[in-house]
Amino acid sequence: MNKTNLIFIIAPEVIDKQIHGKPADMWAIGCIGYFLLCGKLPYHDNNKAKLLNSILKDAVPFTSHWEKIDSKAQSLVTSLLQKDPSTRPDADTALSHPWIRDGGVNEAIPNFQETLNLFDQ
């Protein structure tokens, strides 16, 4: 993935040029999880300014693509895509989420847990 593509998963605090750290990584995991589950990015626009504004201000769009997605998966993605970085789960908390803990992730996204573990190093 090149820098141009990374703009679609950039965390709000990075756009706002605030101090950021692992919560920004958790946001990115939320964006990737969203994509893997429904096949679309949570925020997308061909206009860079509109895209960044949408990431900053718009709620996460859970469209009709999400009707068939497990509610526990939706819960995890929602928690990872909180605008306020202090309210996002850290990697340990995300790994203990019921959707991951109870094996739902293994059915929907092979290797998701291993990928999440990489961000906790």
User: CATH number for the domain including 18?
Assistant: 1.10.510.10
CB 46 within 8 A of CB 35: no
pLDDT at 70: 87
CB 71 within 8 A of CB 104: no
- Print burial letters for 34-48: b (CB count within 10 Å at least 16), e (below 16): bbbbbeebbbeeeee
pTM for this one? 0.82
Contacts of residue 120, defined as CB under 8 A and 6 or more positions apart, other chains included, come to 90, 91, 92, 95
pLDDT at 97: 94
Measured between alpha carbons, how far is 28 from 104 in angstroms, rounded to an integer? Answer: 20
pLDDT at 1: 45
pLDDT in tens, the chain (121 residues): 445 567 889 999 999 898 889 999 999 999 999 988 888 899 989 999 999 999 999 999 888 878 888 889 999 999 999 999 999 999 999 999 999 888 777 676 655 666 666 666 5
pLDDT at 112: 60
pLDDT at 23: 96
Domains contained in the chain, number: 1
Question: Containing domain of residue 29, as a range?
Answer: 3-118
